[in-house]
Amino acid sequence: MENRFDMEFIGISENESLARAITSAFAAMLDPTVEELSELKTAVSEAVTNAIVHAYPYEPGTVGLSGKINGNTVYITVTDSGIGISDIDKAREPLYTGKPEEERSGLGFSIMESFCDRIEVMSALGEGTMVTLVKSFGSLKGES
């Protein structure tokens, strides 16, 4: 099937559960297993939490959430117009956190990577960050 949605919300922590619920409802159209759906939901939660915690240090900004279904593959993109990531490779290292004082575990990107087929991260300092999560459902894996 083909489908898409595009929305934005204020980057406040209350909206983390909103982003998960929307992603779940959208991806559920592909009839994933409980495990597949909870993996995608967890990955989205990590991406959205990163945008809320790290992108806007002074006041909450806008977080974009969009989704696309192509065949049995779902693409979820989380965007922000925040401060950007200066070193993406470092940010993706397991256990690295830019905010050690806030009890962040540093596992966000590791979880996104292990729960999705692949992730794409683009960022520009002062302009923002875009994270795309790609996950195929069902036994016939692979993007179509």
CB 108 to other proteins: min, Å: 5
| Amino acid occupying residue 16 | E
In the complex with other proteins, the residue whose CB is nearer, 3 or 17, is 17
Is residue 13 part of the contact set for other proteins (CB under 8 A)?
yes
Backbone dihedral angles phi then psi of residue 17, each to the nearest 5 degrees: -70, -30
Query: What whole-number distance in Å separates Cα of residue 14 and Cα of residue 11?
Result: 8
Query: What whole-number distance in Å separates Cα of residue 122 and Cα of residue 133?
Result: 12
Pick the catalytic residue from 16, 36, 50, 72.
50
For 74, 108, 116, the CA distances from 30, given in Å and listed in that order, are 9, 25, 15
Is residue 16 part of the contact set for other proteins (CB under 8 A)?
yes
> Can you tell me which of 114, 120, 125, 142 binds other proteins, judged by CB under 8 A?
114
CB 96 to other proteins: min, Å: 12
The residues in 25-54 that bind other proteins, with binding defined as CB under 8 A, are 35, 38, 41-42, 45-46, 49, 52-53
Q: Which residues contact 31 (CB under 8 A, 6 or more apart)?
A: 137, 138
> Can you tell me which of 64, 68, 104, 130 binds other proteins, judged by CB under 8 A?
104
Query: What whole-number distance in Å separates Cα of residue 105 and Cα of residue 2?
Result: 36
Residue positions annotated with a catalytic role: 46, 50, 104
The residues that touch other proteins, with contacts defined as CB under 8 A, are 13-14, 16-17, 20, 35, 38, 41-42, 45-46, 49, 52-53, 102-108, 110-111, 114
